[in-house]
Amino acid sequence: MLAKREYLRSIIFGIEDSLVSTTGLIAGISIGSANREFILLAGIVAVSIEAVSMGASEYLSDDAVQEIEKIKRYRDNPLVSAFFMFVSYFFAGLVPLLPIMFFPYPTSLVIGISFALAGLFLLGYVKGKIVHTSALKGALKILIIGGLATAIGLLIGFAFRVPS
């Protein structure tokens, strides 16, 4: 396995959060302004800053838990957790961003949302298999949550549309 099971939480959290928030952001900005360069800039800045923020937060959170519990035996390494969170968030954030680089608007928006939602479905399915629960239920749960967040991003984009 790529990572120990202890780091599965960081990986799933990073991928899920990035796909949901980046897709919602890109969807809202795309609807609000069809300016491709602006959408890319906003997306790249958001993914980069959020990946660093999530990695740092994961490190601080794991470190605090270890300090509070005064763990005597080896548990999660906060630096490794932070690394997995950063990498998961950053690369998952590219899923809805890459179509903007290669396809015109609005095709890029549809492809980006579709890829992100497919990624969320796959993530939920794989998580279900790993933790021995219903893979389909896990896939649908994360897909619905991600779909709702994307819909909210679209609605905000419609509400605050900027003339091109």
Question: Does residue 159 have a pLDDT over 80?
Answer: yes
pLDDT tens figures, 114-154? 999 999 999 999 988 988 889 999 999 999 998 998 999 89
C-alpha closest to that of 74 among 56, 57, 62: 62
Residues 25 and 49: their CA atoms lie apart, in Å, by 13
State residue 164's pLDDT score: 67
Residues 47 and 51: their CA atoms lie apart, in Å, by 6
pLDDT tens figures, 26-58? 999 999 888 899 999 999 999 999 999 898 888
State residue 1's pLDDT score: 47
Give the DSSP letter string of 110-134.
HHHHHHHHHHHHHHHHHHHHHTTS-
pLDDT tens figures, 59-115? 888 777 776 676 555 566 788 889 999 999 999 999 999 999 999 989 999 999 999
